[in-house]
């Protein structure tokens, strides 16, 4: 059986699209293909009009693709601030010689990165926890931390994998507000989510898939009442 077969999905600049389907539909596999964790055996992954099908994950980040995971995996013993700083890209301090030959430049970069990380922690309402180890965070806070970390790379498109899963209602509202703001500022978002209320609030267009194949596409209301979508979900629960 092919995990993802015949899927064609376009995410326009500044668009927010919901990707739904029953468990095992292939949604996360599709994310892995887009992010570069998996390589397609056929077809293309195009980013900004360029074929990126064989690019590595770090190259996709350089092209503006960020992604979160259904279960965040922060560096538990690092502080919240250090976790966000881990998302910084193109830091000259990562090169040994630069620390000796361009010391002042490296220090300026580090200072700018810390200021940016603190601004992002304020954005995701985690400023008060910046010096705490990430292990103290709740599940919802870890999702906000992961969002801040990928924002350090200045993505133009973000793949959000079930941001509502296991999150209490208060933090879920914070996540929704921040995602809405990012999209309003021009960030494209592809959202995997089982919470259809959240999908309906955030997305004007929804793509449904099942068994790795496209099933339906349209507004949230249109897709929710599509007979093929209803049958796929009922079959998954049988």
Largest CA distance in the chain: 65
Q: What is the pLDDT of residue 99?
A: 52
Q: Which of 135, 131, 164, 133 is nearest to 147 (CA)?
A: 164
Q: Kindly report the CA angle at 156 between 212 and 120, in degrees rounded to 5?
A: 115
Where does 16-237 sit in CATH, by number? Answer: 3.40.50.300
| Cβ neighbours around 141 below 10 Å, total | 22
Q: Which of 169, 129, 167 is nearest to 148 (CA)?
A: 129
Q: What is the pLDDT of residue 235?
A: 64
Under-50 pLDDT residues of the chain: 92, 96-97, 100-101, 237-238
- Domain coordinates of the chain in residue numbers? 16-237
Q: What is the pLDDT of residue 108?
A: 77
Q: What is the pLDDT of residue 100?
A: 45
Q: What is the pLDDT of residue 109?
A: 72
Retrieve residue 237's tokens. Answer: 């629960």
Which alpha helices (DSSP H) does the chain contain, by range?
A: 27-35, 57-62, 80-85, 98-101, 103-123, 139-151, 169-184, 196-202, 220-224, 227-237
Please, are residues 86 and 102 in contact by the beta-carbon 8 Å criterion? no
Report which DSSP code applies to 47: E
- What's the rounded Cα separation, in Å, for the pair 19 and 106? 41
């Amino acid at each position: 059986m092919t995990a993802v077969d015949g899927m064609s999905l376009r995410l326009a600049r500044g668009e927010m699209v919901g990707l739904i389907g029953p468990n095992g539909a292939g949604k996360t596999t599709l994310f892995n293909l887009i992010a570069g964790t998996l390589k397609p055996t056929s077809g293309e992954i195009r980013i900004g009009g360029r074929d990126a099908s064989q690019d590595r994950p770090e190259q996709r980040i350089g092209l503006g693709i960020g992604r979160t995971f259904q279960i965040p995996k922060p560096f538990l013993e690092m502080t919240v601030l250090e976790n966000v700083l881990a998302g910084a890209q193109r830091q000259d301090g990562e090169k040994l010689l630069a620390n000796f030959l361009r010391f002042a430049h490296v220090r300026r970069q580090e200072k700018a990165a810390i200021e940016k990380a603190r601004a992002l922690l304020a954005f995701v309402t985690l400023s008060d926890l910046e010096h705490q180890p990430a292990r103290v965070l709740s599940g919802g806070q870890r999702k906000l931390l992961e969002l801040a970390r990928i924002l350090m790379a200045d993505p133009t498109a973000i793949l959000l994998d079930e941001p509502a899963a296991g999150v209490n209602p208060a933090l879920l509202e914070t996540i929704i507000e921040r995602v809405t703001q990012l999209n309003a500022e021009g960030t494209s978002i592809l959202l995997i989510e089982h919470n259809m209320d959240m999908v309906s609030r955030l997305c004007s267009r929804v793509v449904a898939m099942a068994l790795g194949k496209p099933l339906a596409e349209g507004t949230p209301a249109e897709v929710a009442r599509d007979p093929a979508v209803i049958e796929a979900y009922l079959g998954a629960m049988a």
